[in-house]
Structure formats: C-alpha cells, structure tokens
Amino acid sequence: MEVIVAKSAGFCFGVKRAVDSLEKLVETKTDQKIYTYGPIIHNESVIQHFESRGVTVLHSKEELLEIQDGIVVIRSHGVGKEIYELLNYRGIEYCDMTCPFVRKIHDLVAEYERKGCYILIAGDKNHPEVQGILGWCSPDNSQTFQTASEFEKLGIEKDRSTVLVAQTTFNHNKFKNLVEIINKKGYDINVLDTICNATEVRQSEAIQLSKDVDAMLVIGSKNSSNTQKLFEISRVGCPCTYLVQTSTDLDGSIFKGIKSVGITAGASTPKKIIEEVQTNVRNRKF
C-alpha cells in the first residue's frame, strides 16, 4: 500500500515556537512555577507531557488572578489587551509566545479602530484566537461572523468605513467567497486577508492529496479547529477520510481494498505522532 504524507503536516511555525519555548523554560527555570494561559496547544499528549513536568494550565482570567508569582506563558493564539494589563499590574512575569501573524492582526484592528473604522472578524467567536483579537477592539465596534447569512444579520451600514480581517486558520476558499458576496452588495469594506500562509499551504496540499488517494487520515485533536477544517476539506476530495488522534485510533477495517493512503495533520500535532501513525499504516499486512 502506498502511503503519502503531506509535506506541510504537523506543527506550524507559531506552534513550534511556542512549544519549544515552553520546553526551554521548563528546562531552565526549574526554581519557578510555570503556567500557560490556556493549553499551550490543542493536543492532549503535549499538554500531559508539560503537566508531568510541573506546568499548570490556567483556564480563565479568574485563575490568573489567583496566582502570586511564577511565569505565565501566553500561547500562540494570543490574548486580549486586558490580559497584558492584568499581568503588568500584578507584576507577574510572562513569556509572550503569541504567533507574530496573530500579533499583526491585533495591531491592525487596534490601528484601524483608532482611524475610526468598524472591525469585522471572519472566524469563530468562541475560538481563543478570535477572543484575543476581539480583546484589541471595543466590544461595541466589532463583530464576528462565519457565513454570508451571519454577515447579513450583523446589520452593517453600507457607507460605514469597515475593515475585515480573518482568523488565521479560516478556510481560504470560504473567505474568498464571502468577500465576493460582500463586495457585490456594495459595502465600504477594506479587506485584509490575514489567513496564515501555513494554513493555506496545508489546506491546499490536503485538497490535492485527498483527490489522489483511496483513503485519507487527518491526525489531530477533535477540538483543534484547523484539524477539523482539514478533515472537512479532505472529505470533499476523498469520502474515505478519517480523523484520528493517535495510532491507537486506527481501525484496520478502513484499509480493506485500499491501495493508497494520504496522511496530513493539524498544526498542533507533534511529529512523533505523525511518525507513529505512518509506521502503523506501513506495517499493516493486507
């Protein structure tokens, strides 16, 4: 059986940077308590690895308010302005691992808001990255949406100067379609395509690969938004697409009559897990 692994599968630059920095902190700051504000990435095995080395995950602003010292790591998703203010006010040391591409969106929305623009974000309002972006705009001057019908319901005035940014992991084609629809309706919207290139490359590769194979495996956590998106787009090209978290999720029956398998993985999937799945599939006897 032929097994093809997408070149772009796994950690993106921003996630690798955050995970490597946390690893380094754990090794060097042995005398200090280390916290992450939210799980460092959406991957259970990575979170457990760090927990076993004494890292504590803070799940809310309230939990952040309870700590007295230590170092807080801000993950690649970034956070709103208020969290920095809180950390600075309380004199708590922090290590900012916000991905530079996410940081750029924070700067853009803050800058355009200062210029008097209304801010629109194409993305999932419950996702930590979008929550962080919203944290750089006034609540009464910003809204999120994911579909054309959701956009309609926002009630944006056509002549209001508005800027549109996207969650870095937003589906590229979906964003292009949304922009086309919005433009046709005559809104005064300045579109800033802030979708991360890593996401685009990974998604395009998954689309292509899924068309070339009999079965497709997408490796990643069920709660990782970019993994879910990879799963959705791969399923279009290859109906036999399966989402697995580790090699233990592999069900042998899915390989019956299959001659080729494509493998891709979300941005929070460690290389080790991709290799384990790949080896597991290659070692199967059919």
Active site residues: 129
HEC per residue, the chain: CEEEECCCCCCCHHHHHHHHHHHHHHHHCCCCCEEEECCCCCCHHHHHHHHHCCCEEECCHHHHHHCCCCEEEECCCCCCHHHHHHHHHHCCEEEECCCHHHHHHHHHHHHHHHCCCEEEEECCCCCHHHHHHHCCCCHHHEEEECCHHHHHHHCCCCCCCEEEEECCCCCHHHHHHHHHHHHHCCCCEEECCCCCHHHHHHHHHHHHHHHHCCEEEEECCCCCHHHHHHHHHHHHHCCCEEEECCHHHCCHHHHCCCCEEEEEECCCCCHHHHHHHHHHHHCCCC
Q: How far is the CB of 102 from ligand F3S (least distance, A)?
A: 5
Cβ proximity to ligand F3S: between 202 and 213 the closer is 202
Q: How far is the CB of 140 from ligand F3S (least distance, A)?
A: 27
Which stretch, 13-21, 27-35, 117-125, 276-284, contacts ligand F3S (CB under 6 A)?
13-21
Q: How far is the CB of 40 from ligand F3S (least distance, A)?
A: 11
Among 5, 9, 14, 97, binds ligand F3S (CB under 6 A): 14
Among 8, 36, 76, 142, binds ligand F3S (CB under 6 A): 76
Buried/exposed 41-63: b ≥16 CB within 10 Å, e otherwise: bbbeebbebbeeeebebbeeeee
Q: Is 112 in the site for ligand F3S (CB under 6 A)?
A: no
Among 35, 101, 145, 170, binds ligand F3S (CB under 6 A): 101
Q: How far is the CB of 12 from ligand F3S (least distance, A)?
A: 3
Q: How far is the CB of 178 from ligand F3S (least distance, A)?
A: 19
Which stretch, 120-128, 135-143, 192-200, 204-212, contacts ligand F3S (CB under 6 A)?
192-200
Residue of minimal CB distance from ligand F3S? 14
Cβ proximity to ligand F3S: between 76 and 162 the closer is 76
End-to-end CA distance of the chain: 8
Cβ proximity to ligand F3S: between 132 and 261 the closer is 132
Among 133, 166, 178, 267, binds ligand F3S (CB under 6 A): 267
Cβ proximity to ligand F3S: between 118 and 136 the closer is 136
Say if residues 275 and 217 touch (Cβ distance below 8 Å).
no
**Footprint of ligand F3S on 151-170 (CB under 6 A):** 168-169
Among 83, 119, 196, 219, binds ligand F3S (CB under 6 A): 196
Which residues would be at the binding site for ligand F3S (CB under 6 A)?
A: 12-15, 76, 99, 101-102, 168-169, 196, 198-199, 267
